[in-house]
Amino acid sequence: MCFVFKSNSLCYITGLREGTSYSIDVIPIAKEGETSEMQSTCAYAKTEQVEVIENFPYEDGWTNCFAYENAAGLTRNPSWSAIRGCIPDPITDTGIMRDEYGDYCVAMGTKYGYCNDRFLITLENGIQFTVKICDSKGDVPYHHFGGTGKCVIEFIHGNGQLPNCVAFTGNYGCFSWNGLDFDNIRSIQKINYGNPISY
């Protein structure tokens, strides 16, 4: 888990697991010689319990290859409609587009599904995140990356939002992003729609 402080009054918690309840204690700390007027508070939160409707076979090998494409190139339907209303992630500083459910916008092969289909991705390190197909990679399950790599999931970034380090390497998977620590893909599960989150 990672606590991402965006201001004195806003903190995002990343790295939470699907279908899990959390208790969050907020304890104010006063500077030396001062007293705090704030009181301790306790909040409870529960992450989405997804409904898995299909499991896909494990893809062996180097799958920590998360390439990218620009959302500005998605000008035709169904991709244009799928990306509408999505915004660059305000939490991770990746520039990757997310929809109202918090799903990352991606391109995947038609082996997995089509535009607007949702998936729960679980990595070998236990990190989980959800994605929505907004563009197709064709009828192949992955594209080759760096010789032996397999790019199963291709992130869609906002125009002008691609980090320089990703532009240089061609791979989001080479870096850690405020709790979104990439690893090889352990599982891909197709899921139904749940309840939208709010940022």
DSSP 92-156: TSS-BEE-TT-PEEEEE-TTT--TT-EEEEEETTS-EEEEEEEEE--SSS-EEETTTEEE--EEE
- When pLDDT is cut at 50, 70 and 90, the band that residue 30 belongs to is confident
Structure tokens at 22: 């959390």
pLDDT digits (tens, 9 = 90+) for 73-108: 999 999 999 999 999 998 888 999 999 888 999 999
Which whole number is the average pLDDT over 149-165? 97
Confidence bin at 184 (pLDDT 50/70/90): very high
Determine the pLDDT at residue 69.
Answer: 97
Per the CB < 8 A criterion, the answer to whether 193 and 130 are in contact is: no
d(CA 58, CA 81): 30
The whole model's pTM is what? 0.82
